[in-house]
Amino acid sequence: MKCFCHHSFDILENFFAYCGYMKEPLKNYIKPGILQFMAYPVADGNGPMVESLKSILEDTYFDVVEVSWVNDPDVRKKVGEMLAYSGISSKYALHPRILTRKLDLNSLGEAERLKAVKECQEGIVEADEMGIKEVSFLSGPYPGDERKAEAMDQLEKSVDELCQFAQERGIELGLEVFDRSIDKKCLIGPAEDAREFAERIAPKHENFGLVVDLSHIPLLGESPAEALKPVAEYVSHIHIGNCYMGDPSDPVYGDKHPRFGYPGGENDVAEITEFLRVLFEIGYLAKDGSRRGEISFEVKPVGGEDPEVTIANSKRKLTAAWAALETTSS
């Protein structure tokens, strides 16, 4: 039988061995966030806007919240007030406005393009009213290979106008990369096209960047490395979520952002882990902890699933991925 001192030595030896592999807390490297309008039923600009935002802002796990349009001016004022004293970063997404109104920033018809620009400008003003200084958006539909070049030119005109409009208000813009052929079928797009477009815009507008979402990577047929490395220098924000590409009759087929671990889904702990690894590799996450990268959950309850439980699932999955990740110093 070992004496107490031997037991103590074994315990200390195991403790220090464990510490050698134990990573620092996730929040030393990441600012976790969430898209309010995906997790809760407020994407149409109505619904429990204040109540759901309050739930997020009370949760100290989150350092970032992303909201969208708020139709009621009084509610919008309340949202702005809450964000102002919440102590976390806030962002505004034009996506619901663009998608529900079928706006096309790269429309080959000039009237339609200008309509899209005008309505996006209205969204930028709304964000500014709420004190939000970061706004994201997406490109219009892919018109086919034959008209791709023309559509890229049209999108460039629109983004030039939006960047200038946003710059006058001290607002930064992020163009989110979407799928090309399965659901949203956007012009931007595969990583090489996203890079080409960013190379056109970034030299002219310091307030432009790209938003990359783990959810869209399988839909594009890319790996995390293939999706991130070509655009590394332009990435301004990150989303993580899941997608489903199995049975087209499934209600979450395509880009519906079901919970991580949804049966037949594409992304779970292993995929989040690899995504984080590449984010460290490209420098979006700093290995020395000198800068905390923002990563927001984009998840949507399916059917009768409870938003709070769906959000808790996301936290657990990210925590598990962080635990599975090799030491950040490697």
- 25 phi and psi, to 5 degrees? -55, 145
What is the pLDDT at residue 246? Answer: 95
Distance CA 140, CA 127 (A): 21
What structural domains and CATH numbers belong to the chain? 29-324 (3.20.20.150)
Q: What is the Cα gyration radius of the chain?
A: 21
Separation between Cα atoms, residue 170 and residue 276, nearest integer Å: 30
Residue 327 has a pLDDT of 45
Q: What are phi and psi of 27, to 5 degrees?
A: -75, -5
CA-nearest of 298, 325, 327 to 314 is 298
* pLDDT at site 24: 87
Asked if 214 contacts 133 with a C-beta cutoff of 8 angstroms, the reply is no
Q: Do residues 322 and 276 make contact, with C-beta atoms less than 8 angstroms apart?
A: yes
Give residue 26's pLDDT: 95
CA distances from 159 to 137, 150, 209, 213, 306 (A): 10, 14, 11, 20, 37
The CB-side HSE value for 293 (13 A sphere, CA atoms) comes to 22
Going residue by residue through the chain, which has 330 residues, state the pLDDT in tens, using 9 for 90 and above. Answer: 434 343 443 444 443 333 433 468 999 999 999 999 999 999 999 999 999 999 999 999 999 999 999 999 999 999 999 999 999 999 999 999 999 999 999 999 999 999 999 999 999 999 999 999 999 999 999 999 999 999 999 999 999 999 999 999 999 999 999 999 999 999 999 999 999 999 999 999 999 999 999 999 999 999 999 999 999 999 999 999 999 999 999 999 999 999 999 999 999 999 999 999 999 999 999 999 899 999 999 999 999 999 999 999 999 999 999 999 964 444
Residue in the structure block whose two tokens are 């034959």: 146
Provide the pLDDT for residue 228. 98
Token pair of 125, please?
């003003």
DSSP, res 177: P
110-129 and 148-167 are packed helices; what angle lies between their axes, rounded to 10 degrees?
30
Helices (H), ranges, the chain: 4-21, 36-39, 49-57, 73-86, 95-100, 110-129, 148-167, 191-201, 216-219, 224-228, 269-282, 307-324
Report which of 179, 178, 166, 99 is spatially closest to residue 133, judged by C-alpha positions.
166
Whether the model pTM is above 0.85: yes
What pLDDT is attached to residue 187? 98
